[in-house]
């Protein structure tokens, strides 16, 4: 598509980097709204989100370097870029690291971690929806070949060299589908936040809906491999998605201690 958004003299401004920045800003701004929705201090949620993003980006970049070392070796300036931090492998590693940071932050500041995760569920999905458009522009996270009407083609050398994206072949627009599903799920969770549900269930909805959606979308991804230890049936991401769906059951279970403070005092 358009991996380079525009030029500033000799400097190149990548589309993915710009969209990643937009995703971060949009997610953090929404977090201010969802924090108030959950009765948390918006400043605390903002700080937790910034810390999680910082360490998640470091983890994702380190994973990207390990996975594409030869490409980084040939173009060392890419070490400083935001390009494609959200690939299939590095994206989930970054997400895991970011979650750990949020949990540690909540523990240190004595904030209910379930409520913190609830506050960040919709903002994270909104950010992922915008990030998927960045992947579309960069040519990464591409789909499998398709002869249907919705097939899209890439013609940029950058995408072919960096991601192995097929050139001139109609592909399933999996980035657009991913973005639309994440955006719809984010809107649903934000709306669900007004229902007065027990703390933790918004995070559970995000885990369940996101796990199902991304599990199914993996069948349309053309840039994934199925490891031998998974018997060439499922991808690593799909196994992670199964774990997300299992975790959703935990969040939706009616744990009495999670809402003990909301019970009416004994007469």
At 118-144, the pLDDT tens digits run: 999 999 999 999 999 998 988 888 999
Q: What is the count of structural domains for the chain?
A: 1
Q: How confident is the model at residue 207 (pLDDT cuts 50, 70, 90)?
A: very high
In a domain, 237, yes or no: no
In a domain, 217, yes or no: no
Residue numbers of the domain that contains 175? 4-193
Which pLDDT value is given to residue 7? 67
Chain centroid to CA 190: 17
What are 258-264's contacts with CB under 8 Å, separation 24+?
A: 258/114, 258/198, 258/199, 258/200, 259/198, 259/199
Q: How confident is the model at residue 263 (pLDDT cuts 50, 70, 90)?
A: very low
Q: Write out pLDDT tens, residues 150-205.
A: 999 988 877 777 777 889 899 999 999 999 999 999 999 999 998 888 888 999 99
What are 168-171's contacts with CB under 8 Å, separation 24+?
A: 169/145, 170/145, 170/146, 171/142, 171/143, 171/144, 171/145, 171/146, 171/222
Pair 223, 179: CB distance under 8 Å: no
For the residues 75-80, what does the mean pLDDT come to? 50
Q: How confident is the model at residue 84 (pLDDT cuts 50, 70, 90)?
A: very low
Pair 67, 84: CB distance under 8 Å: no
More confident residue, 248 or 230: 248
Single out the residue of 246, 221, 256, 255 nearest to residue 89, CA to CA.
Answer: 221
Pair 173, 136: CB distance under 8 Å: yes
Q: Is 179 exposed, middle or buried (0-12, 13-18, 19+ CB in 10 A)?
A: buried
Which pLDDT value is given to residue 266? 43
Q: Is the pLDDT of residue 262 over 50?
A: no
Rounded to a whole number of angstroms, the CA Rg of the chain reads 20
In a domain, 32, yes or no: yes
Q: Is 156 exposed, middle or buried (0-12, 13-18, 19+ CB in 10 A)?
A: middle
The two tokens of residue 5 are 């958004």
Which pLDDT value is given to residue 260? 47
Residues sharing a CB contact under 8 Å with residue 129, sequence separation 6 or more, in sequence order: 23, 178, 179, 180, 182, 183, 186
In a domain, 112, yes or no: yes
- Cα–Cα distance for residue pair 90/88, rounded to 1 Å: 6
In a domain, 201, yes or no: no
Q: Is the pLDDT of residue 148 over 60?
A: yes
In a domain, 251, yes or no: no
In a domain, 258, yes or no: no
In a domain, 213, yes or no: no
């Amino acid at each position: 598509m358009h991996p380079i958004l525009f030029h500033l003299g000799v400097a190149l401004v990548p589309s993915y980097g710009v969209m990643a920045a937009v995703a971060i800003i949009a997610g953090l701004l929404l977090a201010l709204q969802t924090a108030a929705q959950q009765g948390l201090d918006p400043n605390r949620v903002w700080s937790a989100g910034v810390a999680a993003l910082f360490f998640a980006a470091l983890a994702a970049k380190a994973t990207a370097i390990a996975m594409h070392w030869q490409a980084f070796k040939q173009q060392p300036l890419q070490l400083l870029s935001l390009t494609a931090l959200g690939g299939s492998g590095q994206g989930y590693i970054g997400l895991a690291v970011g979650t750990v940071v949020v949990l540690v932050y909540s523990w240190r500041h004595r904030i209910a971690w379930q409520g913190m995760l609830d506050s960040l569920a919709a903002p994270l999905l909104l950010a992922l929806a915008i990030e998927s458009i960045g992947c579309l522009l960069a040519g990464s996270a591409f789909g499998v070949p398709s002869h249907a009407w919705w097939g899209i083609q890439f013609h940029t050398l950058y995408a072919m060299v960096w991601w192995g994206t097929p050139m001139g072949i109609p592909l399933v627009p999996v980035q657009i589908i991913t973005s639309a599903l994440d955006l719809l799920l984010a809107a649903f969770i934000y709306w669900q936040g007004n229902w007065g549900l027990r703390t933790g269930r918004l995070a559970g909805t995000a885990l369940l809906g996101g796990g199902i959606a991304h599990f199914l979308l993996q069948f349309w991804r053309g840039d994934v491999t199925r490891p031998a230890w998974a018997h060439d049936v499922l991808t690593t991401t799909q196994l992670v998605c199964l774990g997300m769906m299992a975790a959703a059951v935990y969040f939706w279970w009616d744990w009495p201690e999670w809402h003990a403070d909301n019970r009416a005092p004994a007469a």
